[in-house]
Amino acid sequence: MGTSVVVRDREFAETWGASAVARTAGDAAEGRPGTLEEPSASGGGHSPDGRVTPKKLVGAARNDKLCGRGQRPSDMRIQSRGRGEEGRTRLTVVPENVDDLWHLSYVLEPGDDVEGDTNRRIQRDDDRMRDTGGEREHIHVTLEVEDVEFARFANRLRVSGVIVGCSREDQLGHHHTLNVEEHDELTIIKHFKPDQMERIEEAEAAAENPDVAIATVEEGEAHVHTVAQYGTEEYASFTRPTGKGEYARPRSELFDELSEALFHLDPDAVILAGPGFTKGDALDHLEEEYPDVASKTTTVDTAGVGDRGVHEVLKRGALEDVQTETRIAREAELIDELTEEMATGEKSTYGPEAVAEAAEFGAVETLLVLDDRLRGERQGEREWNVDVDDIVTSVERQGGDVVVFSGEFEPGQRLKNLGGIAALLRYRLE
């Protein structure tokens, strides 16, 4: 079978469509199956002779919204910043990708106010109308936050609480949940702690290109995954019949598609993986056509491609080998340094009480704290007998660094085993 190209919109076509459209037009001129068409509900297409043809997935195949229809992930946008009641900061943001939602889940906490547009089922029950179960209406609400949940696989942030402001006064005092998705505007009103505002500003300033891309390839099939701060996500998937047969195409066409995707994505490093010799041939193609991409590419042997191949890459530790400039690598470097200092009994300490004491003496050079534990303490779980915000504030006031570790990765798990908080010291405490 041939391959059809689905052009989703003008911007998408301008980015990806030039070579694809040219090839598709050539297919039609030579009588080969191949179409340029609008997407259907099922995502499939039809060849000129009426046969169904598989679509070639271009751009973000599994999650079109994540990468903006084939575009690189963009950054958190701060729309406005001002002062709210009681001296709180009023910050309006627009999360542009799933990473931004993940960051917000660690910034929002009980007692904050959030504003946003939502749909709510309104119950009507008066003398003239019996209760029919309610109809959904579009309203603007302000919630006093009670609970925050990052629903990773639904690509949304769930913020639950009591309605304290609403475009319909009869809804005040009711509980409601805001489902915040990418590109939804959200206003946060709270007393921001320094590390929370820093997290927002870092998300806003983050480079558009991902740190690492994992490309997996075998005969007739290629996939590109990006490594996000909360995990991995498929960015692109390509199929192109190779080998023998009426509709077989040169392998170079598949390599062209893969190379163009990696060039457009522009990661800091690429892991090229897959079974057999196909990945080596793909690397040769990269070296010839996109030498800059090839120069930052490492090859890894895996038995599978796609999600299975990515899992093998992660399991073998190949990701850590190339992420020398990423957050994960930074956390690994710090936790290794901490472990070495602990082994020699030198300039380190761990556990909430010991770290609080070191902060009080001004001895903390770098504070290491786990994001889940930091959030839990701030939300009242209080497993520690010390105030984590007092520690953070003290360290920053005395010129120390504060590094919040992600519990999603191995360095964070090691920190968790040490109680979720530790410190590298300026000098040894007796």
Residues 254 and 153 in one domain: no
296: exposed, middle or buried (Cβ count in 10 Å: 0-12, 13-18, 19+): middle
Residues 252 and 301 in one domain: yes
Question: Which domain, by its residues, includes 279?
Answer: 58-73+208-323
Q: How many domains does the chain have?
A: 4
> Which residue in 171, 63, 74 sits closest to 118, CA to CA?
171
Domain end marker among 270, 301, 323? 323
Supply the pLDDT for residue 340.
92
Supply the pLDDT for residue 244.
59
d(CA 311, CA 396): 38
Residues 193 and 218 in one domain: no
d(CA 247, CA 379): 60
Residues 265 and 354 in one domain: no
CATH of the domain at 287: 3.30.420.60
Strand boundaries in 57-193, DSSP class E: 77-83, 89-94, 113-122, 135-151, 156-166, 175-180, 186-190
Q: What percent of the chain has pLDDT over 70?
A: 73
d(CA 248, CA 239): 11
Give the tens place of pLDDT for each residue, 234-250.
Answer: 889 998 776 555 666 78
Residues 89 and 197 in one domain: yes
Residues 358 and 294 in one domain: no
Supply the pLDDT for residue 381.
75
414 assigned to some structural domain: yes
283 assigned to some structural domain: yes
Count CA atoms closer than 13 A to 364's CA, side-chain side. Answer: 30
Domain end marker among 151, 168, 201? 201
Q: What percent of the chain has pLDDT over 90?
A: 38
51 assigned to some structural domain: yes
Give the tens place of pLDDT for each residue, 74-105.
Answer: 468 888 999 888 889 999 999 887 778 888 98
Domain end marker among 171, 186, 201? 201
129 assigned to some structural domain: yes
217 assigned to some structural domain: yes
Residue 62 has pLDDT above 90, yes or no: no
Supply the pLDDT for residue 261.
93
430 assigned to some structural domain: no
300 assigned to some structural domain: yes
- Give the residue with greater pLDDT, 418 vs 25: 418
Q: Which run of H or E residues covers position 191?
A: none
Q: Which run of H or E residues covers position 345?
A: none
What's the distance, Cα to Cα, between the start and end of the chain in Å?
74
Supply the pLDDT for residue 229.
60
Give the tens place of pLDDT for each residue, 279-336.
Answer: 999 999 999 999 999 999 999 999 999 999 998 988 887 776 665 445 677 788 899 9
Supply the pLDDT for residue 393.
82
Residues 152 and 191 in one domain: yes
Give the tens place of pLDDT for each residue, 188-208.
Answer: 999 998 888 888 887 776 644
Residues 68 and 216 in one domain: yes
Residues 132 and 62 in one domain: no
- Model confidence at 230, in pLDDT bands (50, 70, 90)? low
292 assigned to some structural domain: yes
Residues 91 and 164 in one domain: yes
Query: Average pLDDT for residues 373-387, to the nearest whole number?
Result: 81
Two tokens at 303?
């038995």
Give the tens place of pLDDT for each residue, 13-44.
Answer: 333 333 333 333 333 333 333 322 333 333 33
Distance from the Cα of residue 9 to its chain's centroid? 24
Supply the pLDDT for residue 5.
29
Residues 302 and 410 in one domain: no
CATH of the domain at 381: 3.30.1330.30
Residues 171 and 84 in one domain: yes
Q: Residue 325 in contact with residue 335, Cβ under 8 Å?
A: no
d(CA 51, CA 45): 9
Supply the pLDDT for residue 56.
29
Please give the mean pLDDT across all residues of the chain: 76
**What angle separates helix 388-397 from helix 371-378, to the nearest 10 degrees?**
120
CATH of the domain at 94: 2.30.30.870
Supply the pLDDT for residue 41.
33
